Amino acid sequence: MKNRVQFGFLVIFLTVLGVLGYNAWLLETTPPERLYSDFLTDLQDGQIASVHLQGEEIRGEDRQGREFRTFSPDIPGLMPQLVKAKMTVSVEPPPSLFNQLAGIVFLIMAVVGLWLVFTKRSFGGGNSIWKDKRFQIRTGPGDTKTFADVAGIDEVREEVIEIVDFLKNHEKYNMLGGRIPRGVLLQGPPGTGKTLLARAIAGEASVPFYSIGGSDFVEMFAGVGASRVRELFGLAKKSAPCIIFIDEIDAIGSRRNGGSGGSHEEREQTLNAMLVEMDGFSSNETVIVIGATNRPDILDPALLRPGRFDRQLTVSLPNLHGRVRILEVHTRLVTVSSSLNLTLIAQGIPGFSGADIANLVNEAALIAARQKKNAVEMIDFEAAKDKILMGLERRNSAINEKERRIIAYHEAGHAIVARLLPETDELHKITIIPRGMALGLTQQVPFEERYTYSIVYLLSRIKVLLGGRIAEKIVFNHLSTGAANDIAAATDIACRLVCEWGMSSALGSTVYRRKQHQFLGDIDTKGDFSEATAREIDLEVRRIINECYEETEKLLRANNRLIHELAEVLLVNETIDAEEINIVMHCYENTEKIRKEQQKDRQRIGQQTPAADTIKEMRA
């Protein structure tokens, strides 16, 4: 389409350029027009040197060498005067009707040609959409996917197995009067395998698979999208049984608002055509429409009603077992070490989608190949995970020693609070090497999946975020801008505690701010409340932050020696993992235990010393 439009604009430009050039040539070569009366006067005075006659047009040149042109209503009556004047006279027959119409015919052909280019039609006929390869058609065994290539979404896969059976044995359902869903809507976060699942359904059923993006239907010309919908469904009915897959269906299926024009009107026409086509399936037509979207909340209700998209399946992020299965699928084509522990890798990547895991395996393979290894090892997966989660290392960043020490103590504060408080996520790695946009990172990984959060966990999370700022203040007695993101995150959690989750004793179980949870992120919707309530909310948020700050400061001051020990280890090693963190913590705990025992011994000896002095005095 892009090349055709560019060609069309080029033709228009050349046509306009040619017309302008032709007009300029006419202005340059056409002599000025002279009144017929003036011509007769000059002819009688003998001022005309020569004339050329073509029909009623007269072109000539006077004695001064000036060219002119005029028109005569009576050429036969003028001829005696021309002969009497004894001048050069030349005659040319008038232009034929064909010559007069040739320019008009050429202009019409140019306009028709441009119209054919822009409407993407051709004299040869056929389906121009398929010639442009706008739709991807898979009818052969080429890159066929099956359920063996799909993992981590077992519940959704079980739901679509019935569709596969219908495509294979639709006579069985038709004989009993059963009707398979005409449409299946796959909704979920990006990268969870919606497109892969649709291809697997077609691969298992061995039927043609027509794939197109929702945005490919909508163009700048009115009616183009609707015609593409009709063409697609017409071809699918001829190829039945088959599957039509529309990716990002929200591009054309979003809610109609009425009264809008322009591109919205074209999109609504396309949606109307799709609604009509999906209603046009008879009960025995085995054409199933599968749509995929990340925004089910904006789809038109008419598209989601029973009879069109009967089933709506949520493809969610995989759990631990699902991530292990996905790792097994993606490592089949990768040479991995025999000591590789996929379960351990899956535990360290909570929240990863199938696409994220595929990227992780690919990054690990690239890292291993860069180091000329024969197999991908656990350390390669760790490096790939750190690169994805924390960003690329910036070892060449010019950070002076003073800032480096501040970063080390800052990260040590985060880690110590996370280790000593209850209901916190496990520490996985601490680094003071700049990665991405961060100067240092303390990475925590939950040991198990969390679906609900207690108030103890949320308050501990706020304290962990404030630990870096407090450690800086305790050690260096000044504040820096390095805690800006931590403070913002802590404030957001405190606001949600008060406004969304009803965990404030002062405001009670009331919602003042609502978050709409969507697959592409949460959207804040503020509630209606008075200025007095807003002030009370601000005071409650500040109270939570201040109390967490004071408790965290007490905790870190009580473990001041641990801050210095962990920071010194970070300054030497720059990056330490969970095992090394445990070693530092155990050494500190043993040292504290010995110190407390020694302190008790000194107190016990101090209590015994006065009694011994009393005995000596009595003996004396």
Give residue-wise pLDDT tens across range 125-184.
Answer: 444 444 444 555 554 445 678 888 888 888 888 888 888 888 777 777 777 776 777 888
**The pair of three-digit structure tokens given for residue 58, joined into one six-digit string:** 């007269």
Q: What does the pLDDT read at residue 143?
A: 65
State the average pLDDT over residues 447-471: 90
Instruction: Report residue 367's pLDDT band, with 50, 70 and 90 as the boundaries.
Output: very high
More confident residue, 88 or 210: 210
Residue 522 has pLDDT above 60, yes or no: no
Q: Which two structure tokens, joined as six digits, stand for 192?
A: 């969870």
- pLDDT band for 31, please (50, 70, 90 cuts): confident
Q: At 185, is the secondary structure helix, strand, or coil?
A: strand
- Supply the pLDDT for residue 127: 46
Within 13 Å, how many C-alpha atoms sit on residue 522's CB side?
11
If you average pLDDT over every residue of the chain, what do you get? 80
Q: Per mean pLDDT, which range of 137-151, 227-241, 511-525 is the poorest? A: 511-525
* Measured torsion, CA atoms of residues 81, 85, 90, 95, in degrees rounded to the nearest 10: -30
Could you tell me the sign of the dihedral formed by the alpha carbons of 366, 367, 371, 374, in that order? Answer: negative
Angle at 553 between CA 550 and CA 559, to 5 degrees: 145
Decide if pLDDT at 458 tops 90. Answer: yes
Give the pLDDT of residue 97. Answer: 64
**Residues designated as active site:** 411
Tokens coding 438 = 């961060």
Among 76, 40, 71, smallest CA distance to 56 is for 71
Give the model's confidence band at 295: pLDDT under 50 very low, under 70 low, under 90 confident, else very high: confident
Q: Where are the beta strands (DSSP E) in 79-121?
A: 88-92
3-state helix/strand/coil string of 570-584 = HHHHCEEEHHHHHHH
Query: And the tokens for 314?
Result: 């949520």
List, in order of start, the domains of the chain with CATH numbers.
Answer: 2-99 (3.30.720.210), 132-314 (3.40.50.300), 320-389 (1.10.8.60), 401-582 (1.20.58.760)
